Amino acid sequence: MPRKPNDLKTEPLTLATTPQVVGYLKQLLKTGLYGKNAADAAERLLTRALEQMLRAGSIKLPRGG
């Protein structure tokens, strides 16, 4: 069953990193759990890290969020 489209607005973000980090991201792609390209994998890892920080109380949701 297809996923429901994300209702949240998205914003572009440019990220520059080392070839080694891109290599690690590409390894994650082979699992099939991190998207179809290195940018997808980076976004998913960032989202997971932010979720963990929210749960730990390291960061807080913005007002109205």
Residue 7 has what pLDDT? 84
Q: Can you tell me the distance from the alpha carbon of 37 to that of 53, in angstroms, rounded to the nearest whole number?
A: 25
pLDDT for residue 2 is more than 90: no
What is the number of structural domains in the chain? 1
Q: Does residue 48 lie within any of the structural domains?
A: yes
Q: What is the DSSP letter of 22?
A: H
Q: Does residue 31 lie within any of the structural domains?
A: yes
Q: Does residue 14 lie within any of the structural domains?
A: no
Q: Does residue 29 lie within any of the structural domains?
A: yes
pLDDT for residue 23 is more than 60: yes
Q: Does residue 7 lie within any of the structural domains?
A: no
Q: Does residue 52 lie within any of the structural domains?
A: yes
Q: Does residue 6 lie within any of the structural domains?
A: no
**With b meaning 16 or more CB within 10 Å and e meaning fewer, what string describes 14-52?**
eeeeeeeeeeebeebeeeeebeeebeebbbeeeeeeeee
Q: Can you tell me the distance from the alpha carbon of 15 to that of 3, in angstroms, rounded to the nearest whole number?
A: 27
pLDDT for residue 65 is more than 70: no
Average pLDDT, the chain: 93
Domain ranges, residue 36:
19-56
